[in-house]
Structure 1
Amino acid sequence: MRHRITDALYGLGWGTVKHLPEPVAVALGQRIADTAWKRRGKGVLRLESNLARVVPDATPQRLAELSRAGMRSYMRYWMESFRLPAWSEERIRTGLEVKDVDLLEEGLAKGRGVILALPHLANWDLAGAWVTTVLGVPFTTVAQRLKPESLYDRFVAYREGLGMEVLPHTGGSAFGTLARRLRAGGLVCLVADRDLSASGVEVSFFGDAARMPAGPAILAQQTGALLLPVTLWYDGSSVMRGRVHPPVEVPRAGHRAEKTAVMTQALADVFASGIAEHPEDWHMLQRLWIKDLETGAAGPDGPAGPGQGSGTGTP
């Protein structure tokens, strides 16, 4: 029953919210976010716990302000995502400004394949729609399987409607397909700050150990594709900002596991810099650090929604 209700609510969002005037949708999202924040549920507590690691010197008042802003940012993601299928090409074009996008364009022009790796910052679906609409470049991504299956199907159809090829995180041969797309000179986009497997790479993240997916680094090694980190953020306006960072190079020395560890740490460092600059736009309502995963000492988890962990990039 819970799964059916969840599926129905998301269906209602896509069926109703996209028809609302944008100011009404924005106000609705903020109202929902503020209500959730005031209730101090599992998701809000987990978000505050994660933000306390990102901003270790924050006072309780500052953490509360960040978590409230974080819930508003999270609901902005959902309101935009519900409305994206109805956005015009011009609205998508003006909805995102990206610094150093030439790094992506030059990589694709060389025909070597490009991997974009990004954390759960701001609206990665809007960024994907911008790539397919404005740059005219289709790409392949990976999505976490959801329950019920009908909800997963909704998200696959939604993202495919935005021009993405979506592969399931489990139950298929995602890694092989991603490698083929890259060897053909294509683009792969992976949300890669949260590992959903037991084979993640241990990294130092805000001064403590966490695990992140090995997929981006291994794909770059095996295919020769360019690995580019990306960070996103909101600036308070209706426009989202983004930056394509310099490539993470494959080390010349070491075996595959050593190279993978170095490259994944480099990704984690770029992610950390983007999250530290815009902590309120990091939508991490689940446990991430190893200590939290093993002991549960830092508080409960929020419910794992479709926006959490989708497209992690773990093969």
Structure 2
Amino acid sequence: MHRIAHQISDGLYGLGWSTVKHLPEPLAVRLGQQIADITWRQRGKGVLQLEANLARVVPDASPERLRELSRAGMRSYLRYWMESFRLPAWSAERIAGGCDIKDIHLLEKGLAQGSGVILALPHLANWDLAGAWVTTKLGVPFTTVAQRLKPETLYDRFVAYREGLGMEVLPHTGGTAFATLARRLRDGGLVCLVADRDLSASGVEVSFFGETARMPAGPSLLAQQTGALLLPVTLWYDDSPVMRGRIHPPIEVPRTGTRAEKTAAMTQTLADVFGAGIADHPQDWHMLQRLWLKDLEPRPDDLDGGSAES
């Protein structure tokens, strides 16, 4: 059964990359909104989890407001996918004009110093478009990490897609990603990491919207080990075709404390910046998975052979 589901997923993503990129943009936008609305009305696990996550982000929201936010969230999520399917066919001019990133001078200054830069982002708006914008408009290549997906052919599709946009993609598993990232940074390079959800057992516990969650230690550890600049980034959509974003001031390495204490402090600061950006644009946070520790406790469906969302 899992094999059939994986084959279907691979086929659907393949259809998206082969077909959607040829649609006129207004038609692709409408199609994405229609798919989002249908999915939202079905009230599946992903939609319900998104709504539960948004309830923590907007704790005073009424049930009606949460439903509005989750519907807008699904439209934002499908906008991400429709853009991603179409990105390989976008011209350099379309990509360069597709983003408006504020305080880009922080990135440019960091790269000019030659000690490497780490950009850390949450799952807000379209991080792939932001990456393509960096490689296209700024002409700066970078290295990132991708979660291994099943089937392997689907993972290969994602790697090929992102490499086609000018990114170097490393697998999340296998044990060599951290060392490679550190080498790129010591050479003065750029590393971009989506860092609001931990995919390992070594995440750092943070307070996030008043409850405990785990976030990756990687960005903070890399900054300590290599001397690279750690810059948080937040992204959002508005009513225009242009995605907006901001590069935030660097997160400094504390002067005192053990490595674990420094990592905890830096990761908490990163979580605070992410939280402020998500609170400002909750509908653009594409978190359809469980995140908070309270939600990650075993459920009956997990014990019966189900799996947690990736």
> Does TM, normalized by the shorter one, top 0.5?
yes
Partner of 2:303: none
Residue correspondence of structure 1 range 43-58 to structure 2 within 5 A? 43-58=46-61
> Do 1:46 and 1:302's aligned partners in 2 also have CA atoms closer than 8 Å?
no
Aligned to 2:113: 110
Aligned ranges 1:12-23 → 2 under 5 Å: 12-23=15-26
Moved over 2 A (4+): 301-304
The question of 1:281 aligning with 2:267 is answered no
Question: Within the alignment, does 1:238 sit opposite 2:241 as a pair?
Answer: yes
Residues 21-60 of structure 1: per-residue CA shift (max 9 Å, x gap):
0000000000000000000000100000000000000000
- How many angstroms apart in 2 are the aligned matches of 1:56 and 1:8? 39
1:205 alignment partner AA: F
Match of 1:131 in 2: 134
Aligned positions of 1:1-16 closer than 5 A? 1-16=4-19
The alignment covers a number of residue pairs equal to 303
> Which digits, 9 at most, give the CA deviation of each residue in 1:73-129, with x for residues without a partner?
000000000000000011111110000000000000110100000000000000000
Task: Supply the AA of the counterpart residue of 2:243.
Answer: M
CA-to-aligned-CA distance 1:218-248 (integer Å, 9 cap, x gap): 0000000000000000011100000000000
1:268 corresponding residue in structure 2? 271
Aligned partner letter, 1:98: I
Aligned to 2:81: 78
The question of 1:29 aligning with 2:32 is answered: yes
Measure, in 2, the Cα distance between the counterparts of 1:112 and 1:138. 15
SS of the residue corresponding to residue 293 of structure 1 reads coil
Contact 1:233–1:278 at 8 Å: present in 2 too?
Answer: yes
* Equivalence for 2:180: 177
User: How far is 1:162 from its partner?
Assistant: 0.1
Q: Normalising by structure 2, what TM-score?
A: 0.96
Aligned equivalents of 2:308 and 2:199: distance in 1?
A: 15
2:90 maps to: 87
1:171 Cα deviation from its structure 2 partner: 1.7
Partner secondary structure for residue 291 of structure 1? coil
Q: Secondary structure at the match of 2:294?
A: helix
Letter matched to residue 179 of structure 1: A
Deviation at 1:296, TM superposition (A): 4.8
How far did residue 294 of structure 1 move? 1.4
Name the % identity.
80
Inter-partner Cα distance in structure 1 for 2:174 and 2:254: 32
Instruction: Give, in whole Å, the separation in 2 of the partners of 1:24 and 1:302.
Output: 35
CA distance in 1 between partners of 2:308 and 2:83 (Å): 20
The aligned amino acid for 2:104 is V
CA 1:116 to 1:176, structure 2 compared with 1: closer, same or farther past 3 Å? Answer: same
Instruction: Provide the C-alpha distance between the structure 1 equivalents of 2:308 and 2:212, rounded to a whole number of angstroms.
Output: 23
Aligned CA distance change for structure 1 residues 32 and 5 (closer, same or farther; 3 Å)? same
Matched, 1:187 2:211: no
C-alpha distance in structure 1 between counterparts of 2:128 and 2:296, whole Å: 27
Alignment partner of 2:100: what SS? strand
Q: Which has the higher contact order (CA 8 A, sep 6+)?
A: 1
Q: Which amino acid aligns with 1:223?
A: T
Equivalent residue, structure 2, for 1:66: 69
Which runs of no fewer than 5 residues in structure 2 stay unpaired?
301-305
Contact (CA 8 Å) 1:42, 1:302: kept in 2 or not? no
In the alignment, the residues of structure 1 paired with residue 149 and residue 186 of structure 2 have an alpha-carbon distance, to the nearest angstrom, of 29
Which amino acid is 2:273 matched to?
A: V
Are positions 1:196 and 2:191 aligned together?
no
- C-alpha displacement of 1:303: 8.0
Q: Which runs of 5+ in 1 are unaligned?
A: 309-315
1:241-267 CA distance string (max 9 Å, x none): 000000000000001000000000000
